[in-house]
Amino acid sequence: MKFGGTSVGSTESILSLKRIVEAEKGQVVVVVSALGGITDQLLRTARMAVAGDTAYQSEFAQMKQRHYKMASEVIKDVQSRDRLLDELEELLEELRSIYQGVYLIRDLSPKTEAAIVSYGERLSSRIVATLIKGAGWKDSRQFIKTEHKHGKHILDSDLTHRLVKAAFSEEPRVVVPGFISQDKDTDETTNLGRGGSDYTASIIAAALDATVLEIWTDVDGFMTADPRVIHTAYTIQELSYIEAMELCHFGAKVIYPPTIYPVCVKNIPIRVKNTFNPENPGTVIRDHIENDRKPIKGISSISGTTLITVAGLSMVGVIGVNRRIFTTLAEHGISVFMVSQASSENSTSIGVRDEDADQAMAVLNQQFQKEIEMGAMFPMQAERGLATIAIVGENMKHTPGIAGKLFGTLGRSGISVIACAQGASETNISFVVDSQLLRKSLNVLHDSFFLSEYNVLNLFICGVGTVGSNLLEQIRTQRLELMEKRRLKLNVVGIASSRRAIFTRDGIDLDNYRQQLEESLPSNTERLKREVLGMNIFNSVFVDCTASGEVAALYQDLLEHNISVVAANKTAASGPYDVYKQLKETALTRGVKYRFETNVGAGLPIIGTIGDLRASGDKVLRIQAVLSGTLNFICNELAHDVPFSEAVRKAKDLGYSEPDPRIDLSGLDVLRKIVILSREAGYHVEQQDVEQAPFLPGEFFQGDVEEFWRRLPSLDTAFQHRCAKLKAEGKCLRYVATMDHGKTNVQLEEVDKQHPFFQLEGSNNAVMLTTERYREFPMIIQGYGAGAGVTAAGVFANIMSIANI
């Protein structure tokens, strides 16, 4: 049983350790790490001492204090405690003298450093040995032996194996310090590398033919990804040795990579368990797993990767270039963790750690010096600041489409892959990305491979006015149904009003988002952008339910970051043509969506229909449309002999018009809508190209609203006359927007009984499309064209169309 740093780091955890070990019936060897954080502190203190910084003394005093405090708190028996404190004192006194020596001589050799760092485990193991009932203690340096090769201390497996077998007999419980070892020739103290206590335990387990190797740590087992990076990572119940090895080698820090091999050879299972939650079954790692269907088990990564490319035309078909590359690197003790070579054979890319990169470049340039001088090969190229990611699972080999899903997911998220490799064993696909994209890559892959029971769509809702709040309510009530019936999970990860915003990766509780907003920090558009982009979240949609130009100005950036945009806001689609065009282009190249169906006719399927017609090869020739619910309402009231000023007032009171009805009456809103429709129909139209006749004479648009209301009745008589005359002729007024082969206008028109717009009730909208196919009898789309409910529903439909189900 190996207990890591955090498991011996606090009183609470060390007492839990005691309970866990004492509950064990069989014979146990307990391997312990240094108290959490101590190894780093030992090294830091040494660096201070060698630099002549007297602060090393207080660091040392602090470490000393921590051990004394721990011993005093957990050992209740006075005699044992005193004995333990004496032992600790003796060790700490040695350590103090070493530090003092380093300080005085200002020299810190690797040998001295190894001696210093060994005290962490030597101290902690004494405490644990005293704490556990009936436990003995052995110094692992007596049997874990290393030899010096390529400037590194490497385990001498055979010797160690023999010594371990001889060292342990029938003792029920023995505590052993992890990590530390001894050079077999010089007897100097060495170690197995950072995180090496796992390895100590594995070596002992293998030599003693243990029934199981237990790694006790601070998480519930081996997880699908690093839980510090991926909050939704969860514990993997079972892993094969091969899968565990692949994941560890690629940076899953939970087990030190060399740990797997010794127990794997002996077929001893490994159990990874949580000292803080011992009831959790944790993870079992073993040879063979039954009924295992999951193609991918986990994702891990290494940052600090350099990719070295060996390239040259002469490499094609030449035998032995690869042999020379790898022999050279091996001779210098440089480990290569990824290789990628295309079948054209004119370049080989090799992934090494950043710290090995300079040396690797130098030795390879030297090795191929002749070829480089002759121009047959290029000097080595290094690309730094990269990260390598691996997805791992033995069942990949039976499942087609994994690589497709992997690269598809990355592509849709705007992540470009710099190099990739998949071995023929098909248990691991590794690839290299810019290290700034590491977190995002891990997130999107984890979401797509592990949370894929559901399709997840992450929504940022901007604007909580009538449309936004209606939408949120519709999402809230539809959510369960969508999960059950369509396997779609709508996750609202951000909500912003004009003054405040909340963001939560795991999804905002929609039952009380208003309150959460109220309690949140003040926000602005700049922060909104930062948060949305910073969240780097897969499959996300930005939903704009505002009318703000500032918010619309964010779309370009959002789309470029592979975030789809659904806009109820008309600003962008009706603004300068170039902006509109660029947004559409960006969405297309990024493989995301920019949808704004509700910009015209609220929930009516107008823009989508025009798109479908064009996609199927039709050409839109003419559009005639009644696009303002407010103006249509006023026209209908006039037809019923209501005075004009009253009709306007009524439209306002019923909530059809804007608070300042002149915004509707100016025709600007209609103008913007016909601009959008014309563009969607394939014509290059700007707002200023539209011929415009407002409902009212120009002077009514000057001055404030009060004045406007005051003056409005002066128009009543004129309208009354006009309407009476029209009525006699069997006609009525409609405010119509027209696009004819690219020419556009908006004006008040008189339509007769035969005209399809004559019957248009209340605040309805209607669009008549004349196309090459619908030439004689145009297509008409008609219905409710305003109102928060239908608009929100239209936005919702746009969101659903992005989910693609």
Question: Which residues are marked as active site?
Answer: 673
Cβ contacts of 568 within 8 Å, gap of 6 or more: 463, 467, 543, 544, 545, 596, 598, 599, 791, 794, 795
Q: Does 196 bind ligand ASP (CB under 6 A)?
A: yes
Tally of residues, the chain: 805
Q: Judged by CB, which is closer to ligand ASP: 194, or 499?
A: 194
Helix residue ranges, H only, 106-145? 110-131
Q: Is 776 buried (19+), middle (13-18) or exposed (0-12) by CB count in 10 A?
A: exposed
Stretch that binds ligand ADP, among 47-55, 249-257, 505-513, 692-700 (CB under 6 A): 249-257
- Residue 170: CB minimum distance to ligand ASP, A: 28
- Residue 537: CB minimum distance to ligand ADP, A: 20
Q: Which does 555 bind (CB under 5 to 8 A by kind): ligand ADP, ligand ASP, Mg ion, none?
A: none
Q: Does 195 bind ligand ADP (CB under 6 A)?
A: yes
Q: Which does 120 bind (CB under 5 to 8 A by kind): ligand ADP, ligand ASP, Mg ion, none?
A: ligand ASP
Which of residues 1, 4, 181, 538 is near ligand ASP by CB under 6 A? 4
Q: Judged by CB, which is closer to ligand ADP: 299, or 651?
A: 299
Tokens of 142: 């007596």
> Judged by CB under 6 A, how many residues of this single chain contact ligand ASP?
13
Q: Which does 6 bind (CB under 5 to 8 A by kind): ligand ASP, Mg ion, ligand ADP, none?
A: ligand ADP
Binding track over 255-294 against ligand ASP, x by CB under 6 A: ----------------------------------------
Single out the residue of 224, 244, 237 nearest to residue 290, CA to CA. 237
> How far does CA 287 lie from the centroid of its chain?
32
Which of residues 25, 76, 133, 228 is near ligand ADP by CB under 6 A? 228
Which of residues 28, 34, 415, 420 is near ligand ASP by CB under 6 A? 34
Binding track over 492-531 against ligand ASP, x by CB under 6 A: ----------------------------------------
621 sits in which H/E element = strand 620-626
One-letter amino acid for residue 112 of the chain: T
- Residue 217: CB minimum distance to Mg ion, A: 7
Distance CA 311, CA 322 (A): 11
Stretch that binds Mg ion, among 2-10, 159-167, 349-357, 446-454 (CB under 5 A): 2-10
- Residue 160: CB minimum distance to ligand ASP, A: 17
In contact, 489 and 457? CB cutoff 8 Å? yes
**What region does 335 belong to: left with phi over 0, alpha with psi -120 to 50, or beta?**
beta
* Sheet of strand 540-544: strand arrangement: 501-503, 488-496, 455-462, 540-544, 564-567, 594-595
Distance CA 116, CA 39 (A): 9
- Residue 40: CB minimum distance to ligand ADP, A: 11
Distance CA 294, CA 272 (A): 20
- Residue 6: CB minimum distance to Mg ion, A: 9
Q: Which does 39 bind (CB under 5 to 8 A by kind): Mg ion, ligand ADP, ligand ASP, none?
A: ligand ASP
Structure-token match 């901007």, residue found: 462
Stretch that binds ligand ADP, among 37-45, 182-190, 247-255, 625-633 (CB under 6 A): 247-255
**Looking at beta carbons, which residue is closest to ligand ADP?**
4
- Pairing between β-strand 381-392 and β-strand 2-3 as defined by DSSP bridges: unpaired
* Sheet of strand 691-692: strand arrangement: 691-692, 743-752, 731-740, 620-626, 764-771, 779-784
Q: Judged by CB, which is closer to ligand ASP: 119, or 143?
A: 119
Neighbours of 373 (CB within 10 A): 9
Axis-axis angle for helices 38-50, 110-131 (nearest 10):
140
Q: Judged by CB, which is closer to ligand ADP: 253, or 684?
A: 253
Collapsed DSSP state (helix, strand, coil) of residue 200: helix
In contact, 317 and 344? CB cutoff 8 Å? no
Q: Judged by CB, which is closer to ligand ASP: 258, or 414?
A: 258
Q: Judged by CB, which is closer to ligand ADP: 252, or 602?
A: 252
In contact, 461 and 514? CB cutoff 8 Å? no
Stretch that binds ligand ASP, among 7-15, 142-150, 196-204, 776-784 (CB under 6 A): 196-204
- Residue 198: CB minimum distance to Mg ion, A: 6
- Residue 223: CB minimum distance to ligand ADP, A: 3
Single out the residue of 538, 594, 529, 604 nearest to residue 782, CA to CA. 604
Q: Judged by CB, which is closer to ligand ASP: 226, or 394?
A: 226
Stretch that binds ligand ADP, among 3-11, 375-383, 502-510, 648-656 (CB under 6 A): 3-11
Q: Does 295 bind ligand ADP (CB under 6 A)?
A: no
**Cα–Cα–Cα angle for 782, 786, 790, rounded to 5 degrees:** 85
Residues between 166 and 195 with contacts to ligand ASP, criterion CB under 6 A: 178-179, 194-195
Cα-based distances in Å from 42 to 45, 59, 64, 122: 5, 9, 11, 13
Q: Does 39 bind ligand ASP (CB under 6 A)?
A: yes
Q: Which does 252 bind (CB under 5 to 8 A by kind): ligand ADP, ligand ASP, Mg ion, none?
A: ligand ADP
User: What is the SS3 string spanning 338-387?
Assistant: EEEECCCCCEEEEEEEHHHHHHHHHHHHHHCHHHHHHCCCCCCEEEEEEE
Residues between 358 and 387 with contacts to ligand ADP, criterion CB under 6 A: none
Which of residues 33, 190, 348, 763 is near ligand ASP by CB under 6 A? 33
Q: Which does 503 bind (CB under 5 to 8 A by kind): ligand ASP, Mg ion, ligand ADP, none?
A: none
Q: Judged by CB, which is closer to ligand ADP: 282, or 468?
A: 282
Residues between 471 and 490 with contacts to ligand ADP, criterion CB under 6 A: none
Which of residues 218, 354, 646, 658 is near ligand ADP by CB under 6 A? 218
Q: Does 575 bind Mg ion (CB under 5 A)?
A: no
Single out the residue of 556, 662, 551, 629 nearest to residue 791, CA to CA. 629
- Pairing between β-strand 298-311 and β-strand 347-353 as defined by DSSP bridges: antiparallel
Binding track over 25-54 against ligand ADP, x by CB under 6 A: --------x---------------------
- Taking the chain, what is the end-to-end CA distance rounded to the nearest angstrom? 49
Distance CA 644, CA 598 (A): 29
Residues between 115 and 174 with contacts to ligand ASP, criterion CB under 6 A: 120
Stretch that binds ligand ADP, among 223-231, 356-364, 675-683, 720-728 (CB under 6 A): 223-231
Burial 728-758 (b: 16+ CB within 10 A, else e): eeebbbbbbbbbeeeebbbbbbebeeebebe
Q: Judged by CB, which is closer to ligand ADP: 48, or 204?
A: 204
Q: Does 219 bind ligand ADP (CB under 6 A)?
A: yes
Residues between 3 and 42 with contacts to Mg ion, criterion CB under 5 A: 4
Burial 70-85 (b: 16+ CB within 10 A, else e): bbeebbeeeeebeebb
Q: Does 16 bind ligand ADP (CB under 6 A)?
A: no
Single out the residue of 433, 422, 374, 414 nearest to residue 397, CA to CA. 422
Binding track over 179-198 against Mg ion, x by CB under 5 A: ----------------x---
In contact, 632 and 765? CB cutoff 8 Å? yes
- Residues in contact with ligand ADP by CB under 6 A are 4-7, 33, 195, 217-219, 222-223, 225-228, 252-254, 298
Contact residues toward Mg ion (CB under 5 A) are 4, 195
Give the binding site for ligand ASP (CB under 6 A). 4-5, 33-34, 39, 120, 178-179, 194-198
